[in-house]
């Protein structure tokens, strides 16, 4: 039966929290839902700050921004953003090693067969073949510190990459906030002190603020950060702890001025008890050291961070504490957790903001109908989808750590020898046997992402998909050489990353 729009009293959606998650949720829902049916209110408190880090993203963020109708050049100028073509991993197998996880594909499919099978076949046959990295356009652009937009309308090699952004997370939240409040989202400044629940259903009915004001709602979105005020504290949903596989639980963060190159990629450098990020923005570089307190105390970690900055810090370093894992359920009763309130995975692959975006889209799709009780099947489906998202990202992150050769460093020794999640052990075994890498229709990560990290970490295929045999080896060798020439030729025409941004942002309307 067709749902008639605007016929019932609007469903009152109350979002608690005004960090990146809260404002992305407010903006996304107000854009995706009919305002005659859904009224969105957001409560945030100046007394509790936001996390304020979260500067590297995945290409999906562009879909989110486009959905809101943001002007890209204006958004980039407002958030001091730069372009991101991937992540460079330095020292993750041993000191000095490096590889890039690019946004885009390796090579092209030939004879209907994915590129990595041809590559593995040529390699196993002892033919002239370069490292897999050399067959990615995005990797070549990263190495040249170059940027230009992908040529998505063509079938050329310039269509084989995608891009994301680095941006100042606080500026992004403020930018999205202006967008959302200008489009009808009601913003309330106040500290939530009390939560009233319905005696029969256990659903949240109203929130009481420090000012004494009471805010009633039908659906509550918990974006309260690590506090998890509604789903964790009020509804008592348990926590699935993943620190066994992802033992990093602290980060020191400090920005500094840029000295080094204006790279169109994030750098993640392995260190004794974790890893350091370097994220170049227009006005500064974001740096942080993610580490495990089991293997390094906070003071020593701070020394490590400060000892590796390219310039003195622009602000006092901030310490952030966290646990890897997720809520058993993201949606309980009439409360839905999005962002840090629902889970945390270390920022190694810049996944948190993506997980927020995915949750907002899924919630909009599964939004309860105004005037009707919430069907528990909506919650069950949302929880199923969220679990898929988080569990897959977890496996991908763990993959970065396990095949290291950093012998004698206790954190890395532990990671190399620990028992793996069954799902990950299966994926690695399958890749070794047949060069097959996971490819999902829903959720992260794509096949090429898996390939970059599997091979980057030294996991080599011993076989390949036999359909690749249809291409004669001599033909294959010629195609491989031609592919590399097209990549090099394409990158040679691109401007430097910094030059491109200066021109693009200056030319904004
Ligand atoms: P927060 O930013 O903590 O916001 C919580 C909000 O809830 C605040 O507005 C607060 O005022 C409000 N609040 C809480 N309690 C109450 C109350 N009682 N009453 C009223 N309001 C309340 N993500 C990426 O995608 N890429 C990255 O590169 C990345 N790097 C990261 C690095 C580190 C070290 C960490 C810790 C996280 C990183 N993240 C990254 C994650 C990213 O920062 C978060 O996912 C994102 O900022 C969302 O945070 P949030 O909005 O859920 O929580």
The 10s digit of each residue's pLDDT in 106-152 is 999 999 999 999 999 999 999 989 999 999 999 999 999 999 999 98
Q: Is 352 in the pocket of ligand 1 (CB under 6 A)?
A: yes
Q: What is the pLDDT of residue 402?
A: 92
Cα–Cα distance, 462 to 123 (Å, whole number): 10
Q: Which two tokens stand for residue 125?
A: 């046959």
- In this structure, what token pair is assigned to residue 179? 């967008």
Given this model, what pLDDT does residue 124 score?
97
Give pLDDT, residue 128. 86
Of all protein residues, whose CA lies closest to atom 6 belonging to ligand 1?
17
Check pocket membership of 56 for ligand 1, CB cut-off 6 A.
yes
349 phi and psi, to 5 degrees? -120, 20
What is the ipTM, given to two decimal places?
A: 0.98
Question: CA dist 390 to 58, 235, 334, 384, Å?
Answer: 15, 21, 21, 10
Q: What is the pLDDT of residue 57?
A: 97
Q: Is residue 16 in contact with ligand 1, taking CB distance under 6 Å?
A: yes
Cα of 321 vs centre of ligand 1, distance in Å, is 12
Task: Judge contact between 30 and 180, C-beta under 8 A.
Answer: yes
pTM for this entry: 0.95
Q: Which atom of ligand 1 is nearest to the CA of 224?
A: 7
For the Cβ of 168 lying below 6 angstroms from any atom of ligand 1, the answer is no
Q: Which residues of the chain have pLDDT under 50?
A: 1-2
Is residue 42 lining ligand 1, measured as CB closer than 6 Å? no
- pLDDT for 507 equals 72
Q: Is the CB of 187 under 6 A from ligand 1?
A: no
CA of residue 360 to ligand 1 center, whole Å: 15
51 lines ligand 1 (CB under 6 A): yes
Q: What is the pLDDT of residue 491?
A: 97
Of 14, 43, 47, 48, which is best to mutate to test ligand 1, by the most ligand atoms within 8 angstroms of its C-beta? 48
pLDDT at 486: 96
Catalytic positions, please?
A: 84
Burial of 2 (0-12, 13-18, 19+ CB in 10 A): exposed
Mention every residue, 6+ apart, whose C-beta is less than 8 A from residue 344. Answer: 226, 322, 323, 324, 325, 326, 352
Q: Considering only CA atoms, which residue is closest to atom 27 of ligand 1?
A: 54
Q: Which residue's alpha carbon is nearest to atom 4 within ligand 1?
A: 19
Query: Ligand 1 centre and the CA of 352: distance in Å?
Result: 9
- Ligand 1 pocket test: which of 18, 19, 81, 254 has the largest number of ligand atoms within 8 Å of its C-beta? 19
CA distances from 292 to 204, 252, 341, 342, 431 (A): 36, 11, 21, 21, 30
Nearest CA to ligand 1 atom 9: 18
Angular region, 413: left φ>0, alpha ψ -120 to 50, beta rest: alpha
Which contiguous run of DSSP H or E holds residue 223?
Answer: none
Burial of 120 (0-12, 13-18, 19+ CB in 10 A): buried
Strand 285-291 to 250-256 pairing = antiparallel
What is the Å distance from ligand 1's center to 95 Cα? 32
Distance CA 115, CA 113 (A): 6
Q: What pLDDT does residue 6 have?
A: 53
């Amino acid at each position: 039966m067709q749902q008639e729009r605007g016929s019932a009293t609007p469903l009152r959606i109350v979002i608690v929290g005004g960090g990146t998650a809260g404002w992305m949720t407010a903006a996304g829902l107000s854009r995706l839902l009919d305002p005659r049916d859904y009224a969105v209110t957001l409560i945030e408190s100046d007394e509790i700050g936001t996390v304020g880090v979260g500067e590297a993203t995945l290409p999906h963020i562009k879909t989110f921004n486009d959905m809101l109708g943001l002007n890209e050049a204006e958004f980039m100028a407002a958030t001091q953003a730069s372009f991101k073509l991937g992540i460079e991993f330095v020292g993750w197998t041993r000191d000095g090693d490096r590889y890039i996880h690019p946004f885009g594909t390796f090579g092209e499919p030939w004879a209907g067969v994915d590129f990595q099978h041809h590559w593995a076949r040529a390699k196993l046959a002892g033919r002239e073949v370069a490292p897999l990295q050399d067959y990615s356009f995005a990797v070549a652009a990263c190495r040249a510190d170059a940027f230009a937009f992908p040529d998505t309308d063509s079938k050329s090699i310039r269509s084989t990459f995608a891009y994301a952004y680095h941006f100042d997370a606080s500026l992004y939240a403020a930018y999205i906030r202006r967008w959302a409040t200008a489009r009808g989202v009601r913003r309330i400044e106040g500290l939530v002190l009390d939560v009233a629940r319905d005696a029969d259903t256990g659903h949240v009915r109203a929130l009481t603020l420090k000012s004494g004001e009471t805010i009633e709602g039908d659906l509550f979105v918990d974006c309260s950060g690590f506090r998890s005020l509604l789903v964790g504290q009020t509804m008592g949903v348990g926590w699935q702890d993943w620190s066994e596989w992802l033992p990093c639980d602290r980060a020191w963060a400090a920005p500094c001025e840029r000295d080094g190159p204006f790279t169109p990629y994030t750098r993640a450098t392995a260190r004794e008890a974790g890893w350091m990020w370097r994220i170049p923005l227009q006005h500064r570089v974001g740096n942080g050291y993610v580490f495990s307190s089991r293997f390094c105390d906070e003071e020593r970690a701070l020394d490590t961070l400060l000892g590796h900055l390219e310039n003195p810090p622009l602000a006092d370093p901030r310490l952030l504490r966290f646990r890897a894992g997720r809520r058993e359920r993201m949606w309980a009763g009439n409360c839905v957790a999005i962002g840090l309130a629902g889970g945390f995975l270390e920022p190694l692959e810049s996944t948190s903001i993506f997980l927020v975006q995915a949750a907002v889209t899924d919630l909009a799709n599964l939004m309860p109908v105004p005037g009707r009780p919430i069907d528990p099947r909506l919650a069950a489906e949302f929880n199923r989808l969220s679990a898929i998202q988080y569990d897959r990202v977890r496996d991908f992150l763990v993959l970065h750590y396990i095949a290291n050769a950093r012998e004698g460093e206790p954190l890395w020794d532990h990671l190399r020898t620990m028992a793996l999640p069954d799902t990950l052990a299966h994926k690695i075994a399958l890749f070794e046997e047949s060069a097959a890498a996971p490819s999902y229709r829903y959720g992260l990560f794509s096949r090429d992402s898996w390939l970059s990290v599997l091979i980057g970490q030294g996991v080599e295929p011993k076989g390949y998909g036999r359909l690749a045999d249809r291409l004669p080896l001599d033909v294959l060798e010629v195609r491989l050489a031609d592919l590399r020439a097209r990549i090099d030729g394409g990158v040679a025409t691109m401007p430097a990353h910094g030059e491109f941004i200066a021109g693009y942002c200056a030319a904004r309307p």
